[in-house]
Amino acid sequence: MLSTAATVEGMGLEARSAQLTAICLQCVRIAPTAMRVHRQPYRPQARAGRWADGQTAEEVGHRDDDCRPGHASRIAQRRKKRGDPMEKIRRNYPDIAPAGPTYNRAIRSGQWLFISGCTARGTPAQGKPLMEQLRVTLDRVTRIVAAEGGKPGDIVEITTYVTSIAEWRAHVDEQQALFTEYFRGEFPTNTLVEIRALAEPDLDVEIEAIALLD
């Protein structure tokens, strides 16, 4: 239940704390931190401006008018303003790497960016030698990260799918030079996987990636 401000302020300390907890339970569905934020304000360390975990009231987002009528909607508005870190935003980049009709090129959640597999499909490099396809593929992945305000060094993990590891190894110097050119020493983790075929018979390499943006 939600209480009026007068009712809350007229209670004793124990009853008031219990009332605040009850109010916060109403908010926990839209503000998961509400239980921590509002069960503690009347403890001695909270009255001194610190919380049990050492954070300040400002750091945990507590305000003097919390736990009053409309408090739940205010928390929801503040979260919407700063962006829910767990919100999933689906992205497509038709000018960089067009996606198909049943998937998205990337999904962003907070600082995380998950990029679906990119190839040289639809470019002049499709059907060309492996290293030409690799250059276009790396270019697409890094441009997608740049479109989200990141840089190649923000890519923390990639999975590289090739149709022939033997051919990949035959061009080890070239592929290492390409990775160095794009990542400039800030290399991600990389898992190399050989598969029978990619989406089209003249594609030989595909890279999916995960980036952690600043």
Residue 115 has pLDDT above 70, yes or no: yes
Instruction: For the chain, list the domains and their CATH numbers.
Output: 5-82 (no CATH), 89-212 (3.30.1330.40)
The residue among 108 and 19 whose pLDDT is bigger is: 108
pLDDT in tens, 52-100: 455 555 555 555 555 455 555 665 566 555 556 679 999 999 999 999 9
Residue 50 has pLDDT above 80, yes or no: no
What is the reported pLDDT for 72? 55
SS3 for 189?
Answer: strand
Query: What is the average pLDDT across 103-124?
Result: 97
- Residue 189's DSSP bridge partners are 157
Residue 175 has pLDDT above 60, yes or no: yes
Q: Among 113, 93, 206, which Cα is nearest to 154's?
A: 113
Confidence of residue 36 (pLDDT cuts 50, 70, 90): very low
| CA–CA dist 171, 128 (Å, integer) | 14
pTM (2 d.p.): 0.62
Residue 145 has pLDDT above 90, yes or no: yes
What is the reported pLDDT for 86? 74
| CA–CA dist 129, 169 (Å, integer) | 14
Instruction: Tell me the one-letter amino acid at 78.
Output: R
The pairing of strands 112-118 and 106-109 is antiparallel
Helix or strand holding residue 108 (H, E): strand 106-109
What is the reported pLDDT for 173? 97
SS3 for 23?
Answer: helix
